[in-house]
């Protein structure tokens, strides 16, 4: 196993044996540990002293179900703290099969505005790297560029890269990876890591894993035993089984569910219900596709080995593809949050965010704040599309919007900024779903639902039940439990959505742990993997404190504490003491 270092200052590379400290880590655990060890928390995120780390998960590259995730880490230009953002893509197992534990991108070109491509391939005994100019691909639509890259390097390669948002250094820029049809649609979107990649002068990272040796197993029989248990659990659970909730309606199935619960943030978090929700929900996508294609269209895998297959495709009235895919978060951010109920229009906005390399959540939040500030009326679809183009083309207003939710609110003098640590909130109203509010406030990542998905028990009834409207100290314990478990789950390389099955089916959780032990040669128990997740959080927390954050940053926005949210007319009323319990009792 190696750590691959790319020096973008002199365009050299080195392969290092993996130090003992890192041998049992992967994914988020490895990206965060490397950043904590090698990056000064006080450095500028877009300066020469920040680093960008790519790390496949512990079981990524194996036949483990739904495990093709790549974690990307660095200091975030959006939050000013540590960041891990992951995506499902064939790029991840390709790197893992080359026995690369992590890729560390460091340094930056002396010539500003100069961009390079890197090609990683297997030379027969070890990985090899080639640097080449990327000038011809700068400033272009990624949907135009990706086909050209596959034409140049062959259909068997895998691509990571940035769009114009990353070139412009936007805090809402993501890192894009190819999907199963080689489209630029799989994003490590949150936290502005696309800008970090752009600051390094790295435009594209192409991987050709042909003839790579594959992942090594310490105990292959144990791995196979665990993989079988997890696969069976995923095939049994109502949300993850074939033609189950996610495979049929995609993640956008949550639109109607959260709307009914009064927790769907609408018009910049002014209410918890959107009258247009049924028009944009996962059920509407399914029925529209059925009417437009003449058949029931079930969803597909975003990455190799995914058995949940929740990624959808939105088709137009002629049966032609508008975009793939419309995730719940994107559907909400560019739809309900902006007061827009035009499904095709939302699909077009997702397309253009993908084309420019924009995080759909941060883009939608930023547009909604701008609307709330009087720039556009809520519901103005054409105006919203124009604002995305302003961002993608680097226009002055677009650069303001590219700064993210909190930056836009400050620019317009609007106190209603739905953000924590500078990062815009995702699609769950923290006043109406109290546990996710604790996660938003306290996670090391800025407002992030994936960091501690208490929606499982609070809304879906998975892993037990918890009243979403009830304000109680136990919400801190609930969030902490989900945050610690998720930190480990993000390290395995599995998709977060396996959580539904492993929370409800004990053999599924047991199988996940056995997979990890089979690869690493460890003897971890269920309790020990949760404790490892806690250790990851402590490292991330220490980095953020070193960057200047305090417990005062672990708070929800002030306006949510006094502004009642219809229809339940609730406020953010959990005390500071409850928020401080999350890390105070670790």
What the block records as the tokens of 476 is 């801190």
Helix axes 526-546, 474-492, angle to 10 degrees: 100
- Asked if residue 479 lies in contact with residue 582, where contact means CB atoms within 8 angstroms, the answer is yes
pLDDT tens string 152-167:
999 999 999 999 999 9
* 3 state SS of 173: strand
pLDDT tens string 336-379:
999 999 999 999 999 999 999 999 999 999 999 999 999 999 99
pLDDT at 573: 97
pLDDT tens string 532-559:
999 999 999 999 999 999 999 999 999 9
Per the confidence metrics, is the pTM higher than 0.85?
yes
Do the two domains 2-208 and 251-298+311-428 of this chain adopt the same fold? no
Mean pLDDT of 39-57: 98
One CATH from 3.40.50.800, 1.20.950.20, 1.10.599.10, 1.10.730.10 for 430-496+522-586 = 1.10.599.10
Q: In angstroms, what CA-CA distances link 84 with 111, 280, 448?
A: 28, 30, 11
Q: Is residue 427's pLDDT more than 90? A: yes
* 3 state SS of 338: helix
- Asked if residue 136 lies in contact with residue 320, where contact means CB atoms within 8 angstroms, the answer is no
Torsional sign, CA 428, 429, 434, 440? positive
- Asked if residue 435 lies in contact with residue 458, where contact means CB atoms within 8 angstroms, the answer is yes
Q: What is the CATH number of domain 251-298+311-428?
A: 1.10.569.10
Each domain of the chain, given as residue ranges in start order, spans 2-208, 251-298+311-428, 430-496+522-586
Residue found by looking up tokens 């990455």 in the block: 303
What is the Cα–Cα distance from 164 to 140, expressed in whole angstroms? 7
pLDDT tens string 58-104:
999 999 999 999 999 999 999 999 999 999 999 999 999 999 999 99
What is the Cα–Cα distance from 14 to 561, expressed in whole angstroms? 51
Per the prediction, the chain carries an average pLDDT of 97
- Asked if residue 229 lies in contact with residue 507, where contact means CB atoms within 8 angstroms, the answer is yes
Mean pLDDT of 260-276: 98
Instruction: Note the residue count of the chain.
Output: 586
pLDDT at 520: 98
> H or E segment at 71?
strand 69-75
What is the Cα–Cα distance from 571 to 357, expressed in whole angstroms? 35
DSSP letter at 18? Answer: P
* 3 state SS of 307: coil
Rg (CA), the chain: 22
pLDDT at 113: 86
Q: In angstroms, what CA-CA distances link 18 with 102, 251, 517?
A: 9, 37, 18
Q: Is residue 586's pLDDT more than 90? A: no
Per the DSSP assignment, residues forming a β-bridge with 358 are 173
Q: Is residue 585's pLDDT more than 90? A: no
Reported as a pLDDT band with limits 50, 70 and 90, residue 431 is very high
Reported as a pLDDT band with limits 50, 70 and 90, residue 316 is very high
What the block records as the tokens of 294 is 């003449």
Residue found by looking up tokens 């103005």 in the block: 380
- Asked if residue 174 lies in contact with residue 165, where contact means CB atoms within 8 angstroms, the answer is yes
Q: Is residue 178's pLDDT more than 90? A: yes
pLDDT at 166: 98
Reported as a pLDDT band with limits 50, 70 and 90, residue 111 is confident
Q: Is residue 484's pLDDT more than 90? A: yes
What is the Cα–Cα distance from 174 to 61, expressed in whole angstroms? 23
Q: Which of 433, 455, 441, 526 is nearest to 485 (CA)?
A: 526
> H or E segment at 203?
strand 202-208
Q: What is the CATH number of domain 2-208?
A: 3.60.9.10
């Amino acid at each position: 196993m190696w750590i691959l270092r790319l020096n973008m200052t002199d365009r050299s590379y080195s392969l290092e044996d993996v130090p003992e400290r890192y041998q049992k880590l992967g994914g988020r655990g490895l990206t965060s540990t490397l950043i904590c060890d090698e990056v000064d928390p006080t450095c500028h995120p877009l300066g020469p002293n920040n680093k960008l780390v790519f790390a496949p998960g512990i079981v990524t590259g194996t036949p483990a179900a739904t495990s093709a995730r790549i974690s990307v880490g660095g200091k975030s230009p959006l939050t000013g703290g540590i960041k891990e953002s992951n995506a499902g893509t064939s790029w991840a197992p390709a790197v893992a099969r080359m026995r690369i534990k992590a890729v560390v991108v460091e340094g930056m070109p002396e010539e500003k505005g100069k961009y390079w491509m890197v090609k990683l391939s297997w030379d027969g005994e070890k990985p090899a790297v080639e640097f080449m100019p990327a000038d011809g691909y700068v400033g272009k639509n990624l949907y135009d560029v990706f086909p050209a890259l596959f034409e140049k390097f062959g259909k068997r390669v895998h691509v990571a890269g940035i769009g114009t948002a990353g070139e412009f250094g936007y805090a809402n820029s993501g890192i894009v990876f190819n999907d199963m049809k080689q489209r630029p649609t799989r994003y490590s979107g949150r936290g502005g890591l696309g800008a970090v990649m752009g600051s390094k002068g790295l435009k594209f990272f192409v991987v050709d894993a042909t003839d790579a040796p594959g992942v090594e197993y310490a105990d292959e029989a144990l791995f196979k035993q665990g993989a079988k248990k997890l696969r069976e659990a995923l095939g049994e659970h109502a949300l993850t089984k074939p033609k189950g909730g996610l495979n049929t309606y995609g993640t956008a199935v949550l639109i109607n569910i959260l709307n009914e619960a009064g927790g769907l943030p609408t018009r910049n978090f002014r209410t918890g219900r959107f009258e247009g929700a049924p028009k944009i929900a996962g059920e509407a996508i399914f029925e529209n596709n059925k009417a437009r294609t003449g058949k029931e269209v079930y969803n597909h895998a975003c990455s190799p080995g995914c058995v949940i297959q929740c990624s959808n495709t939105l088709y137009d009235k002629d049966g032609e593809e508008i975009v793939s895919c419309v995730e719940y978060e994107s559907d909400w951010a560019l739809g309900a949050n902006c007061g827009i109920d035009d499904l095709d229009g939302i699909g077009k906005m997702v397309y253009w965010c993908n084309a420019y390399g924009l995080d759909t959540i941060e883009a939608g939040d930023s547009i909604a704040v701008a609307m709330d500030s009087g720039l556009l009326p809520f519901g103005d679809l054409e105006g919203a599309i124009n604002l995305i183009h302003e961002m993608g083309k680097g226009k002055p207003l677009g650069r303001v919007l590219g700064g993210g939710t909190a930056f836009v609110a400050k620019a317009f003098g609007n106190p209603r900024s739905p953000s924590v640590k500078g990062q815009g909130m995702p699609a769950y109203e923290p006043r109406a779903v109290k546990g996710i509010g604790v996660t938003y406030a306290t996670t090391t990542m800025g407002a992030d639902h994936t960091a501690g998905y208490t929606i499982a028990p609070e809304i879906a009834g998975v892993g037990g039940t918890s009243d979403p409207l009830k304000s109680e100290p136990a919400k801190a314990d609930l969030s902490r439990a989900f945050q610690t478990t998720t930190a480990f789950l993000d390290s395995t390389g599995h998709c977060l959505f396996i959580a539904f099955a492993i929370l409800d089916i004990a053999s599924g959780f047991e199988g996940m742990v056995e997979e990890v032990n089979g690869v690493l040669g460890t003897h971890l128990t269920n309790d020990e993997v949760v404790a490892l997740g806690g250790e990851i959080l402590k490292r991330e927390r220490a980095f953020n404190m070193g960057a200047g954050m305090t417990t005062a940053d672990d708070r929800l926005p002030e306006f949510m504490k006094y502004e009642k949210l219809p229809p339940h007319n609730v406020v953010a009323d959990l005390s500071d003491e409850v928020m401080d319990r999350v890390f105070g009792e670790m």
